[in-house]
DNA sequence: AATTTTTTTGCAACCGGTTGCAAAGTTTTT
DNA sequence: AAAAACTTTGCAACCGGTTGCAAAAAAATT
């Protein structure tokens, strides 16, 4: 069915190598040969087979994209940006939905079998060891949204979660809150752990009482709503720092359900700044994570790794900022 | 770096074919040979290269997944289901983000170059001709969420949009509304056109006045909010049928912003039943589209096509149903 | 035990490209 | 016009598997 190199070579009256070279960037072909080949290729509708090329060059132009959070709208942006950014560079994403795949080990095997050129692990709920498994298998890997360590042994692109936790504590303190709660994302996520640490440490420093610490089971509205019921048992809580906007929205609805009004009776601070955070019904004050920068940088880095595998592990962190809307008391007037 | 067939064959003391056969389902190998090979493979950590296999067998186990709607939360389900459903069958999704890709023609070329075994085009905003282009190129294709025609020439899996439009009109009529509006999705989407047709025809039959027909520019909250401002100019509109839940939520907020309360002053009927539709802040009455059934069926069909390319085009439609929440007047008591 | 049937095995060609190398062809230099 | 330097080209081997075919081995039949 498909037209091959050989047929084009025959029609153009040149060798197979000549045809191959016309379709390879930077190869040496004379203008006359190129013209003949291009004409023949056009006539036959020839396009080189990327599979065959991959076998010969040992490059597939496939980038594995491993995620386990297909429920959260925050990931829509991630997918959109990843795919379009890869496409711009003539690369393709090979998606792996980790929630469905049995073991992480299998995922590594699988992507190795497909000879992906690189892998982006986009999740904060997996340990660093997962990303390292790719590295051990000789596959360039970036742990996006991952936990960074001073003695990095794997590329990490994301944010400083500890610092963001501290930022949340400061945000509460500046607005005059004195007793607050933490309603984090899944407890096993490294992002949750780091934010929690930063939040509690800074709260202590600022004399802010953290009356309650709890965690939602996953990044969903429902999990947030359920966990919030627990927080509401404690009447002294004036504001809640949530590990994710979706969780936060669930928590807000639980609070409203209990007759509280926002921000008068209770304040909420979200995380991520997903599109919905700006909707009138929630008007969420939240800490924005610069997804776009993170993704672009991850793609750039993985491409760099492919070109230069020896590159030493890098940590790239992007700043987050508080987006002021209506779910917290306003800052007191300066002066 | 990677271990090859040849090395395994040498270690096991058998021919390359024997190794190949141990890793090919249904091939003939004796128990003793298989054992020797498996032992050698384990020692060396061998896994067959899928690229090489693809070249030889002309099957890649890659399924192209073309989408152009990465903004809508409804697509999270789509991605999740598609990827996990493909994974169960040992297939991989090769994602194409159409919004970023220049021309549809290029997409066909691209997926052909990667020799995908099949393609699922998951969008209602592209004409049937797009799906047909794959077919012409000899690639099995399913148009999921596509427009179906009596004389089908391409597989379509989805819903009967005309019928759903009619269902919306009946829903309004049953609840005693007499003057309504249609706030559809993008006007170029075939789903919008069909729903609109069914809605208006049935409204006319039921004596329901459609005072206003307009369309959101895309499937977003903002587009819904903007378009709703136009609808609000007409004070006689009692209820609005929206082309998508996200659009509907935007529209609801525009209405509330104008001081209307829901459902007392104005009613809303959404479409899709995304997770957020159930949130307290919206409690959207909406027409549920059975995404899960549609996706599972699409995957099953594309697999069937790969196995039997001669298969004649099929149309698979799934029923939708009204999910009653709080954005419409209740049904009058029976009797 | 000899013959027939069935199963297993290795050989070698093939899938559709790339690429190092040396020969052939051009262009530049002397 | 010959020599030197540079380009272009085709040959042939290779990437890592699969598979039809015939020979070899094993099992079943007589």
**Span A130-180, pLDDT tens digits:** 999 999 999 999 999 999 887 778 999 999 999 999 999 999 999 999 999
Q: Which DSSP helix (H) or strand (E) runs through A51?
A: helix A50-57
Which B residues, 136 through 175, put their C-beta within 8 Å of a C-beta on chain A? 138
The SS3 of residue B155 is strand
CA distance B84 to chain A (A): 5
pLDDT of amino acid B334: 65
Residues 6+ apart with CB under 8 A from A22: A29, A33, A34, A37, A38, A41
C-alpha count within 13 angstroms, C-beta hemisphere, residue A236: 7
CA distance B335 to chain A (A): 34
CA distance A221 to chain B (A): 8
pLDDT of amino acid B118: 97
Residue B279 touches chain A, beta carbons under 8 Å: yes
| Residue found by looking up tokens 């008591």 in the block | B333
CB–CB of A79 and B95 under 8 A?
A: yes
Q: pLDDT for A58-70, tens place per residue?
A: 999 999 999 988 8
Q: What is the DSSP letter of A195?
A: H
Could you tell me where the DSSP H helices lie in A117-189? Answer: 128-136, 161-174
CA A115 / C1′ D30 distance in Å: 55
CA–CA distance, A284 with A302 (Å, rounded to integer): 34
- The percent of residues above 90 in pLDDT, for chain A, comes to 87
CB–CB of A94 and B97 under 8 A?
A: no
pLDDT of amino acid A105: 87
Q: Which of A2, A55, A79 sits opposite B51 (nearest CB)?
A: A55
CA–CA distance, B304 with B306 (Å, rounded to integer): 5
Residue A75 touches chain B, beta carbons under 8 Å: yes
Q: Which of A48, A112, A115 sits opposite B113 (nearest CB)?
A: A48
CB–CB of A221 and B257 under 8 A?
A: no
pLDDT class of A28 with cuts at 50, 70, 90: confident
Q: What is the DSSP letter of B331?
A: P
Residue B257 touches chain A, beta carbons under 8 Å: yes
Residues 6+ apart with CB under 8 A from B220: A275, B71, B72, B246, B247, B250
pLDDT of amino acid A335: 55
CB–CB of B49 and A93 under 8 A?
A: no
| Residue found by looking up tokens 């598609």 in the block | B82
Size of interface A-B (CB pairs under 8 A): 139
Do A62-159+291-318 and A161-289 come out as alike in CATH topology?
Answer: yes
CA B311 / C1′ D19 distance in Å: 26
pLDDT class of A1 with cuts at 50, 70, 90: low
Could you tell me where the DSSP H helices lie in chain B? Answer: 5-12, 16-22, 31-44, 50-57, 74-88, 104-113, 128-136, 161-174, 190-206, 221-232, 245-257, 291-307
Which A residues, 297 through 326, put their C-beta within 8 Å of a C-beta on chain B? none
Q: Which residues of B touch A256 (CB under 8 A)?
A: 280
CB–CB of B51 and A54 under 8 A?
A: yes
Most confident of A99-113, A265-279, B22-36: A265-279
Q: Which residues of B touch A79 (CB under 8 A)?
A: 70, 79, 95, 97
Rounded to 5 degrees, φ, ψ at B92 are: -125, 140
Q: Give the closest nucleotide to B21 (alpha carbon vs C1').
A: D18
Angle of helix A128-136 relative to helix A104-113, nearest 10 degrees, comes to 30
Residue B226 touches chain A, beta carbons under 8 Å: no
User: Does domain A62-159+291-318 bear CATH number 3.40.50.2300?
Assistant: yes
CA–CA distance, B279 with B252 (Å, rounded to integer): 13
CA A52 / C1′ D23 distance in Å: 33
Top residue of A44, A261, A280 to mutate, by most chain B CBs within 10 Å, is: A280
Q: Which residues of B touch A122 (CB under 8 A)?
A: none
CA–CA distance, A59 with B5 (Å, rounded to integer): 19
Task: Mark the nucleotides of strand C covered by protein, meaning any atom under 7 Å from a CB.
Answer: 7-12, 14-20
CB–CB of B80 and A72 under 8 A?
A: no
Task: Give A161-289's CATH code, choosing from 3.40.50.620, 3.30.470.20, 3.40.50.10440, 3.40.50.2300.
Answer: 3.40.50.2300
CA A55 / C1′ D11 distance in Å: 21
Q: What is the DSSP letter of B154?
A: S
Among residues B243, B251, B299, B297, the alpha carbon closest in space to that of B270 is found at: B243
Mean of all residue pLDDT scores within chain A: 94
CATH superfamily placement of domain B62-159+291-319: Response regulator (3.40.50.2300)
Q: Which residues of A touch B101 (CB under 8 A)?
A: 87
CA A276 / C1′ D8 distance in Å: 60
CB–CB of A51 and B114 under 8 A?
A: yes
Fold (CATH) for B161-288: Rossmann fold (3.40.50)
pLDDT of amino acid B311: 87
Residue A79 touches chain B, beta carbons under 8 Å: yes
Map out the domains of chain A as residue ranges: 5-48, 62-159+291-318, 161-289
Rounded to 5 degrees, φ, ψ at A134 are: -70, -45
Beta bridge partners of A144: A122, A157
Q: What is the DSSP letter of A280?
A: T
Token pair listed for A327: 């779910």
Q: Which residues of B touch A54 (CB under 8 A)?
A: 51
Residues 6+ apart with CB under 8 A from A73: A246, A274, A275, A276, B73, B76
CB–CB of A276 and B275 under 8 A?
A: no
CB–CB of B50 and A1 under 8 A?
A: no
| N residues, chain A | 335
Angle of helix B161-174 relative to helix B190-206, nearest 10 degrees, comes to 40
Q: pLDDT for A76-87, tens place per residue?
A: 999 999 999 999
Residues 6+ apart with CB under 8 A from A56: none
Residues of chain B whose pLDDT is less than 70? 1, 100-102, 334-335
């Amino acid at each position: 069915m498909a037209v091959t190199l050989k047929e084009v070579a025959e029609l153009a009256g040149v060798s197979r190598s000549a045809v191959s070279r016309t379709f390879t960037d930077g190869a040496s072909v004379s203008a006359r040969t190129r013209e003949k080949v291009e004409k023949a290729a056009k006539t036959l509708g020839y396009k080189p087979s990327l599979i065959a090329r991959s076998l010969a060059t040992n490059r597939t132009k496939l980038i594995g994209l491993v995620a386990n959070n297909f429920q959260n709208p925050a990931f829509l942006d991630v997918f959109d940006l990843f795919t379009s950014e890869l496409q711009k560079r003539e690369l393709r994403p090979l998606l792996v939905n980790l929630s469905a795949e049995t073991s992480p080990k299998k995922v590594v095997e699988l992507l190795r079998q497909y000879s992906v050129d690189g892998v982006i692990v986009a999740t904060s709920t997996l340990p660093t060891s997962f990303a390292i498994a790719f590295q051990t298998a000789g596959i360039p890997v970036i742990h996006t949204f991952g936990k960074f360590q001073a003695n990095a042994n794997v590329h990490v692109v994301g944010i400083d979660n500890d610092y963001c936790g501290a930022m949340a504590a400061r945000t509460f303190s500046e607005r005059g809150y004195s007793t607050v709660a933490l309603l984090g994302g899944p407890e096993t996520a490294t992002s949750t752990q780091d934010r929690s640490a930063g939040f509690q440490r800074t709260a202590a420093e600022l004399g802010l009482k953290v009356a309650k610490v709890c965690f939602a089971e996953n990044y969903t509205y429902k999990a947030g709503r359920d966990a919030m019921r627990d927080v509401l048992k404690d009447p002294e809580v004036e504001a809640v720092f949530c590990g994710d906007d979706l969780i936060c929205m669930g928590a807000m609805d639980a609070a409203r359900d209990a007759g509280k009004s926002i921000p008068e009776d209770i304040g909420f601070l979200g995380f991520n700044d997903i599109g919905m955070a700006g909707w009138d019904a929630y008007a969420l004050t939240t800490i924005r994570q610069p997804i776009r920068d993170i993704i672009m940088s991850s793609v750039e880095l993985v491409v760099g790794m492919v070109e230069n595998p020896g590159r030493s592990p890098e940590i790239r962190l992007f700043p987050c900022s508080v987006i002021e809307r209506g779910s917290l008391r306003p800052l007191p007037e300066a002066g």
